Homo-oligomer: A and B are copies of this chain.
Amino acid sequence: MRLLIKDASVVTLDPARPLLAPGYVSVQDGRIEAVSDQPPVGPWDEVIEGKGQILMPGLVNAHTHVAMTLLRGYADDMELMPWLQTKIWPIEARIGDEDVYWGSLLGIAEMLLGGVTTFCDMYYAFHRTAAAVEESGMRAVLSGVLLGFLNSAQADLEAACRFAREWHGAAGGRISAMLGPHAAYTCPDPLLRQVISAARELGIGLHIHVSETEQEVEASEQSTGLPPVLHLERLGAFELHPVLAAHCVHVSPQEIEVLARHQVGIAHNPGSNMKLASGLAPVCELLARGARVGIGTDGAASNNNLDVLEEVRLAALLAKVREADPTALPAHQALYLGTRGGALALGLEDVGLIAPGFRADLVLLEARQPHLVPPHNLVSHLVYAARAGDVRTVLVDGRVVVRDRELLTLDLPRVMAEATRRGQEIVAGRRPRRR
């Protein structure tokens, strides 16, 4: 299978040749073959017209809980702990495996239609999310959530290990697995040590929430004598690779140095951090110290969409607020975090750039729209003016999964109908308690 995208304005994210306008990108067997400002030589199995469109790498959602789309809009504008304790956790305890499957399909549909080609997930019933990923043609890094306070914690860890053995590298390499201890404050040290040791044996990474709120840091210091990052370092968590630490809002300079030295992947979630008033992550300091930063949406219950292009914009804007400096996190850097930065944070070394040898995860956006005119600076437009609805065509691993705004791999009306029905049943309490 050899495919050509021709005549697009190509934003590569590759510092060697950041923009080709017009540019030509050829794809063979799922990987980018060549990137050129001249038409390459065929023959082609397929040619995609890119005229009037911007071609960019697929966006990477570095942290989400995809099936929480079922709870989108169910509870907003609340304090974090009442929100979790009275709204989210009681409802989540009633979400079944097939609910997770349909919620995952809904979130995947939203992401693919919005140019997101990879996501990193932590949730229950991960094998059903894996099935949804396999069907949809998307790329994903999946981890089950492990909570120390559940009676099922040991069984959950065993199930997560079985899942990793079965699914790591599955779907032609599109799926990878991590273990997902929810956070240091929800997993006691013996469980964390077990998880770290299991991940080492399996040769996989970890996905964990770290320092999302001030209270979390204070509690860690009281119970362990250390803030979460230093506590996790002492447990040996950061000797694994990749480790994806979600949030890292409240981290000291010493912790930033530790995160950077171990090349821990950091998922910055600006929309969720703003909506829950968690604080402003020190993204510029993390980057200045060489940390691996990507961008995530978090779950749809605290965002409320899975729109990474919007998160890229929020990251650029919020960094300026935090630093009181309009030059903080300029457009090209923010876009890098939403693509290549996220891929590196997830340990996906061959994802996130338009350059030969990279996975052909590609997005075409319609540029002939009033809000993207005049075309003075396409990177600026992608970050400060574009929106997910501008996405026309999406490829994952060289396969066209969205063409002219139509999702080819899923039955979208059925996905929306099932997710609506199940979401409404869940919030109405018409589900047995499972956890």
Interface residues of A (CB under 8 A from B): 69-74, 76-80, 83, 106-107, 109-110, 113-114, 271, 274-277, 279-280, 300, 303-307, 310, 314, 316-318, 320-321, 323-328, 330-331, 368-371, 373-378, 380-381, 384-385, 387-390, 412-413, 415-416, 419-420, 422-424, 427
Task: Return chain B residues, CB-CB under 8 Å to A330.
Answer: 76-77
B72 with A376: CB separation less than 8 A = yes
A79 with B326: CB separation less than 8 A = yes
Task: Return chain B residues, CB-CB under 8 Å to A415.
Answer: 370
From DSSP, what is the main secondary structure of chain A's interface residues? helix
A370 with B275: CB separation less than 8 A = no
Q: Which of chain B's residues has its CB closest to A375's CB? A: B420
Q: Which of B70, B317, B370 contacts A374 (CB 8 A)?
A: B70
Q: Which of chain B's residues has its CB closest to A368's CB? A: B416
**CA distance in complex: A318, B376 (Å):** 29
A321–chain B nearest beta-carbon distance, Å? 5
**CA distance in complex: A125, B47 (Å):** 46
A420–chain B nearest beta-carbon distance, Å? 4
A385 with B72: CB separation less than 8 A = yes
**CA distance in complex: A325, B79 (Å):** 7
A277–chain B nearest beta-carbon distance, Å? 4
**CA distance in complex: A317, B298 (Å):** 15
Task: Return chain B residues, CB-CB under 8 Å to A314.
Answer: 317
Can you list 20 A-B contacts with CB-CB less than 8 angstroms, sorted by A residue number? A69-B373, A73-B374, A74-B376, A74-B377, A107-B370, A271-B317, A276-B326, A277-B321, A277-B325, A303-B385, A304-B380, A304-B381, A306-B371, A307-B371, A370-B416, A371-B388, A373-B423, A376-B424, A387-B388, A389-B390
